[in-house]
Amino acid sequence: MNYNSATVESISSALLDVRSRTLDLVAGLSDEQLMGKILPTINPLRWEIAHAAYFHEIWVLRHLGKQAAVRDDADTLFDSIGIQHDDRWSLPLPNLQDTFEYMSNVLERELKLLRNIELNNYAKYFYLLALFHEDMHNEAFIYTRQTLSYPKPNFVEKDNLRTNADKNDVTVNYEDIPIPGGRFTLGAERNEEFIFDNEKWQHEVEVAPFKIAKYAVSNEQYLEFVEANGYSQEKYWDELSWQWRQENKLLHPVYWKKDTDGKWYIREFDHWQPLHLKHAVIHISWYEAQAFCKWALRRLPTEQEWEFAAACNPSAIENNHYHKYMYPSGDELKSKYMNLDCQHLGTVDVTDYAESDSAFGCRQMFGNVWEWTASTFNPYPGFSPDWYTEYSRPLFGETKVLRGGAWTTRSRMMRNTLRNYYGPNRNDVFAGFRTCALN
């Protein structure tokens, strides 16, 4: 959604859409499932859906609209900053019907305020902040369902669901694309559409020439590493990653298994499916990606290299400085040519969506899987936190940068400067990777 051209109508439509998706993602779950297990990587869904609405209440209704609290106890129940993670399972949460009523009341007041407020840039910022925050929680709802082996959501048309069969027997290789390097501006411009604070601000960097894979790593490629006993050989892992692998007793990706017939399977929500060899490998930690690269004599791209390959136009260069597109395929987002918005409820072949190629020819740099980079998540020069001060700053130096979105990510959030970040141990999220040649 373009920040500058956002209207009352487009914001209203997006708010209704994201709330519909939130409700779809908890539909059909039992009271027990809505609470789930206490795990460090997830929240109880009954708490988390209310928290998503609470974020709208805090920033749109209370901060922007100067309104009173919708519920007197909302701050003590739904505030993710003030409430410790493990305490969220023992709170006196409202029942599901009352939770839905709270969420509905917040949305109704938010839409009413939108119709009566001056929609200036200040107001747009808080509406879009709350919208994108719920979009990100939608992605978390989906990986929670995957983590807990809940059924697949059922809001996608059956015609869009991909089959389990691979389309062809062609082996996907790295097919490295040479990138000439040069100067470009990393990060977001001041007049760009809505951005998060960690994208501030655009600054010039110099990128040396490099070669990056046209495609993300496929299951077939990763399987070679697994079957070469890569998980059992310490030489491919550094000290921290080897300790993590041992503690988790992993010999392959977390949702894979090898059956007695010698075939590999992957768990997708509550069902085991034959491993789709040409699909992008997913649910891979940064530790695993690094170990694979060491085995394959490859490396992860840096964050700067990733954005250069995704955004720069080799035909638009002046004084060795490259023009940067908003999206890999140009300055217009053609989301129908990318695996975003849950349109297939899973990954697709890494060679699919040829229309998504960047100007340099890299495929699917948006969608399918988030892509790990080699870079630690740190602030750009001149960083200052925005109103939601806890969004980026607490994670600087502690997490790794991912780029490009996954099949779960909403296209309205996407742009080449968007940064995601997770701890290097996270193999529950929708992350894969692409690689670079060593020289």
- The secondary structure of 14-67 as a DSSP string is HHHHHHHHHHHTTTT--HHHHH----TT---HHHHHHHHHHHHIIIIIIIIT-P
Q: Is 115 exposed, middle or buried (0-12, 13-18, 19+ CB in 10 A)?
A: exposed
Q: Are 374 and 402 in contact (CB under 8 A)?
A: no
Single-letter amino acid, residue 137: H
What pLDDT is stored for residue 166 in this prediction? 52
The answer to whether residue 104 scores a pLDDT higher than 70 is: yes
Average pLDDT over residues 103-109: 98
Q: Is the pLDDT of residue 4 over 80?
A: no
Q: What is the mean pLDDT of residues 88-104?
A: 98
Give domain 158-217+298-437's CATH number out of 3.90.1580.10, 3.10.310.10, 3.40.50.300, 3.30.590.20: 3.90.1580.10
What is the C-alpha separation between 237 and 291, in angstroms, rounded? Answer: 5
Burial class (CB in 10 A: 0-12, 13-18, 19+), 368: buried
pLDDT higher for 248 or 159?
248
Query: What is the fold, at CATH topology level, of the domain defined by 8-147?
Result: Four Helix Bundle (Hemerythrin (Met), subunit A) (1.20.120)
pLDDT at 164: 46
What's the N-to-C CA distance of the chain in angstroms? 39
Token look-up 């007197």 returns 72
Q: In the numeric block, which tokens belong to residue 46?
A: 């009954």
Query: In which band, very low, low, confident or very high, does the pLDDT at 170 lie, cut at 50, 70 and 90?
Result: low
pLDDT category of residue 154 using cuts at 50, 70 and 90: confident
- pLDDT given at position 3: 61
- Whether the per-residue pLDDT at 192 is higher than 80: the answer is no
Token pair of 284 as six digits: 């891979």
By DSSP bridging, strand 264-268 and strand 256-258 are antiparallel
Nearby residues of 198 by Cβ (< 8 Å), 6 or more positions away: 377, 379, 380, 383, 391, 392, 419, 421
Domain boundaries, the chain: 8-147, 158-217+298-437
Phi and psi at residue 385, to the nearest 5°: -70, 150
The residues pairing with 330 across neighbouring beta strands, listed in sequence order, are 327
- Sign of torsion, CA 144 147 148 152? positive
Average pLDDT over residues 190-199: 86
Angle at 393 between CA 387 and CA 397, to 5 degrees: 165
Stretch 135-145: mean pLDDT, rounded? 98
- Candidates 277, 263, 241, 300; CA nearest to 431 is 300
Question: Confidence band (pLDDT; 50, 70, 90) for 80?
Answer: very high
- Using pLDDT thresholds of 50, 70 and 90, give the confidence band for residue 418: very high
For range 41-49, the mean pLDDT: 98
Query: Across the chain, what does the average pLDDT equal?
Result: 94
CB atoms within 10 A of CB 205: 17
- Residue 127's CB is within 10 A of a number of other CB atoms, namely 26
Q: Report which of residues 270 and 318 the model is more confident about.
A: 270
**Which amino acid is it at 95?**
N
Average pLDDT, integer, range 133-149: 98
Where does the pLDDT of residue 159 fall: very low under 50, low under 70, confident under 90, or very high at 90 and above? low
Is residue 158 very low, low, confident or very high in pLDDT (cuts 50, 70, 90)? low
Task: Report the C-alpha gap between 77 and 28 in whole angstroms.
Answer: 24
- Which pLDDT band, with edges at 50, 70 and 90, does 194 fall under? confident
Q: What are phi and psi of 323, to 5 degrees?
A: -70, 145
Pinpoint the alpha helices (H) of 79-182: 96-116, 121-147
